[in-house]
Amino acid sequence: MIVGCPRETKNHEYRVGLTPAGVAQIVGAGGTAIVETHAGARVGFADADYRAAGARIAATPAEVYGAAELIVKVKELQPPEFALTHPGQILFGYHHFAPAPELLQSMLDAGVSCLAYETVSDAAGGLPLLAPMSCIAGRLAPQVGAWALQMANGGSGVLLGGVPAPTPVPPARVVVIGAGNVGANATQIAVGMGAAVTLFDRGTEKIAVLDAHYRGRIATAVAEPQALARAIADADLVIGAVLIRGESAPHLIDRALLRRMRPGSVLVDVAIDQGGIAETSRPTSHTAPLFVEEGVVHYCVPNMPSAVARTATLALTLATLPFVLTLARDGLEAACAADAGLAAGLQVHRGAVTHAGLAAASGRPFAPVAWD
């Protein structure tokens, strides 16, 4: 199979879908790799590195999309890329269709097969291709929250760790909503920075594990509406870490609740990829990451891990490459038939929505995959 890796075009997106080491494995297995020029330049992978690994370097994205049967990338296609695809092509990357109806319709019209990193699963029910980026986004969230709290950024001027004796000032109150991969990592970093952390989740299993781990250094609670609202109203920093597979994130924070927060408090909405957890959340970018609504500073960058793009690329491609090799060797049908976890990533196929969660979120009919 011909595997193509285009250069990412989303704002400040520097990650790349394949490393030279990954290309070498594709070529070594008998495949062909086409990489767009400068695709990996910002994370330290020059065109010469890809050539040495056996790739063909393409001058334009049209060359990559036109030749490749399998496109391996990071972020969802941007509007200028919509017309570059062709029927029967496999697009393997983060798609986040639920909050993006125009993107979804374009992929349905194009007749492509979209395998979404964010819903590929493993035997234990985990999300192996989302996990590394969730880990990074979670670890970044307290860091960018601390930055947003600074006065120059519109924040309230609260230091996350407070000040110790002999002139003690209490640490910032951080509320983390969601105890999955993002929430667990955000909690770890926030605790390490000295914040007073309260962790919410809709169930008890995950928070019980984290509560036992931290042994009283964090507060935990089930996310029932009244308790959650009280904690948010008193918080200096709220981190939205909620994920419902393939679906839009639930709106847990309305304008009325935001008005109860102290002016200059911060919301870092990691769930913005799936629409965000607040009524006021809207996607921002690394160029202009912040905005203020109802006196609260919002950070809603959908591609947070690109801030540390080299680390993120290395982590992501370690997870994705085995699936890429399988797809390139066996093709879509055989690969999905042999691996139900990979099949769980197939969200769009031949003009139909083939993921139940996405169908529910987008209001479209669900069409189970029917192979020829």
Active-site amino acid positions:
96, 273
Determine if residue 215 is left, alpha or beta; phi over 0 gives left, psi from -120 to 50 gives alpha, anything else beta. left
**Assigned token pair, 140:** 């970044």
CA distances to 57, 58, 68, 321, 352 from 34, in Å? 6, 6, 7, 15, 28
β-strands 70-72, 90-93: how paired?
Answer: parallel
Residue 57, φ and ψ in degrees, nearest 5: -95, 125
Helices (H), 204-339: 205-214, 225-234, 255-260, 309-338
Q: Which pair of structure tokens corresponds to residue 255?
A: 């304008």
Helix, strand, or coil (residue 361):
helix
Output the CA–CA distances (angstroms, integers) from residue 148 to 93, 200, 266, 297, 309, in the order listed: 30, 22, 7, 7, 21
